[in-house]
A = this chain, B = another copy of it.
Amino acid sequence: MKSGSEPDFSLQFQVEGLHARYAHALDSDRLEAWPDFFTESGRYRIATAENEARGLPLPVLSAEGRAMMRDRVASLRHANIYEPQRYRHIVSSILIEGIDRHTVRSVASFLVVRVMQDGQTLLFASGRYLDRIALAPEPLYAERVVVCDSRRFDTLLAIPL
């Protein structure tokens, strides 16, 4: 992982910052900002741990490029499914697993709770983020794979995680 003898605080700091801004954007219902966390041709998909382990390339949801992501956000707004709930992302155990010239690979754990309109709070999803992050000119996801621990996906389809 390390190229030299010093751990790279700066890199860890940048990755943690990107993850934090992403989570706050979704939790504040700033969905329109979501595509901007990716590179122009960035890829996003939600998968289950079970399917990933079996090598099944059947994502629950996937998008390639900001344009497709913007479409997705627009249709979510139109369908008006997103409105009545709130989400809260908790992200931890952010690890940098590899670095090549322009990209960092990292893994992190997440837990998302959903707060219903009547005030009830439910565990919604847990899992891992597997990320490839482009560093320049600013940190952006070149790929974000959301591997959910659960195989259940009733409503997961609705929103980005």
Residues of A within 8 A of B (CB): 7, 9-10, 12-14, 17, 19-21, 23-24, 27, 49, 86, 88-95, 107, 109, 111, 113, 115, 118-128, 149-152
Contact = CB atoms under 8 A, between A and B. Distances in A.
Contacts of A152: 118-120
Contacts of A120: 150, 152
A50 to B, nearest CB: 9
Given A123-B113, A127-B88, A24 B149 contact: no
12 contacts: A7-B17, A20-B92, A20-B94, A27-B109, A27-B149, A89-B92, A90-B92, A90-B109, A113-B123, A118-B152, A121-B123, A121-B125
Contacts of A23: 92-93, 109
A106 B14 CA distance: 16
Contact of A107 (B9, B24, B113): B24
Nearest to A7: B13
A150 to B, nearest CB: 4
A7 B95 CA distance: 19
B14 A88 contact: no
A37 to B, nearest CB: 13
A99 to B, nearest CB: 15
